[in-house]
Amino acid sequence: MTDDHSIRITVNGTEHELAIEPRRTLADMLRHDLALTGTHVGCEHGICGACTVLVDGLPARSCLMFGVQADGRSVETVEALGTPDALGPLQQAFTDHHGLQCGFCTPGFLMLVTAFLRETPSPSDDEIREVVASNLCRCTGYQGILRAVRAAADAGAGG
């Protein structure tokens, strides 16, 4: 029975009901079934972290999760953090400190750091570097990302 499963999932505060086949990844479900294309797919084996979303508040690599596993759960994606006219504080820090160039890895970093700052609102520089090392960026050399996270933490931008 690789038939479709019916699931209920809350994404960015809105409840959705979907019928999907078990092997459809959470990343593909968010991007193509819910038209939330802000979450990006960079490797499909859980290393680059571009697909990071929050599931029940914890960071999850959505390429390593099946959509059916998110049944009954609450997912947050980058679209929840702000809009082009009203950036969230973490997003503002990223633009202030040139924390992005092509923007492909950026949503994954934003969600990762959002979860991190909620748990650790006053991180040390080493803790920031350790968390930022979770994800890959090929454009920035991480310099702007580290500065942005530092600034966001200092400004109390966690959560």
Partner 1 sequence: MRDAPSGPAAAAPAKAHAGGTPEVPAAGGWIGRSLRRVEDRYLLTGRGSFVGDHQAPGMLHLVLVRSYVASATINAIDASAALRQPGVAAVITAADLAGVAPLRGVLARPEFVATDMPVLAVGRVRHVGEPIAAVLADSAYTAEDAAELVEVSYGELPAVAGVADALAEGAGAVHEAAPDNVLVDVTPVSSPGLDDIFTSAAHVVEVGISTARITAAPLEGRACVAAFDERTGQVVLQTSTQVPHTVRTAVALSLGMDEHQVRVISPDVGGGFGQKCVVAREEVLAAAVARLLRRTVTWVEDRREGLTSGFQAREQFYQVRGAFDATGHLLGLDADIRCDVGAYSCYPVTCGVEVLMAANELPGPYRLRIYRARSRGIATNKTPIAPYRGVSRPQAVLAMERLMDEAGRVTGLGAVEVRDRNLVDAQEFPYRNVMGASYDAGTYRESLARCAELLGHGSWPGVQARALAEGRLLGLGLACFVEPTAYGTASFGMRKMTIVPGYERATLRMDPSGSVIVMAGTHSHGQGHATSYAQIAADALGIDPGRVRLRQGDTELVPHGWGTFASRSIVAGGGAIARASADLAGQLRAIAAHLIEAAPGDVELADGRAQVRGDPATSVPIDELARIAHHAAHLLPDGLGRGLEATAAFDPEGTFSNATHGAIVEVSPDTGGVRLVRYVVVEDCGVMINPMIVDGQVAGGVAQGIGAALFEELPFDESGQPVCGSFVDYLLPTAADLPEFEIHHLCTPTTRTPTGAKGMGEGGTIGAPAAVLNAVNDALAQVGASVGRIPVRPADVVAAIAAAVSRDPVDSRRKTQ
Partner 2 sequence: MKPAPFSYHRARSAEEAVSLLAELGDDAKLLAGGQSLVAMMNFRLARPAALVDISRLTGLRYVREHDGELRIGALALHRDLERLADPGVLAGFGMLPRAARYIGHYAIRAAGTFGGSIAHADPAAEWCMAALLFDAQIVARRRGGDRVIPAAGFFRGFLETDLRPDEMIIEVRLPVPRPGAAICEFARRHGDFAIVAAAAAVSSEGGVCRDARVVLGGVAGTAQRAAGAEAALIGSGLGADAIAAAAEEAAAGTDPPGDVHGSAEYRRHLVRVLAARVIEEAAADA
Binding site for partner 2 (CB under 8 A): 1-2, 5, 21-23, 25, 44-46, 49, 52, 58-61, 63-66, 68-69, 71, 112, 115-116, 130-131, 133-135
Instruction: Kindly provide the residue ranges of all beta strands, DSSP E only, lying in the chain, ordered along the sequence.
Output: 5-11, 14-20, 52-55, 58-61, 74-76
Looking at beta carbons only, is 72 or 102 nearer to partner 1? 102
Residues 65 and 26: beta-carbon distance below 8 Å: yes
User: Does the footprint of partner 1 cover residue 13 (CB under 8 A)?
Assistant: no
CB of 114 to partner 1, least distance (A): 12
Cα angle, residue 103 at apex, residues 26 and 59 outer, rounded to 5°: 40
> Of partner 1, partner 2, none, which one sits near residue 2, judging by CB under 5 to 8 A according to partner kind?
partner 2
Could you give the string, one character per residue 14-43, with x where binding to partner 1 holds by CB under 8 A and - elsewhere?
Answer: -------x-xx------xx---xxxxxxxx
Q: How many CB atoms lie within 10 A of CB 122?
A: 10
Count Cβ neighbours within 10 Å for each residue of 55-68 and write b for 16 or more, e otherwise. Answer: beeebbbbbebbbb
Residues 69 and 26: beta-carbon distance below 8 Å: yes
Residues contributing to the site for partner 1 (CB under 8 A): 21, 23-24, 31-32, 36-45, 47-48, 50, 77-79, 81-85, 87, 91, 94-98, 100-107, 110, 129-130, 132-147
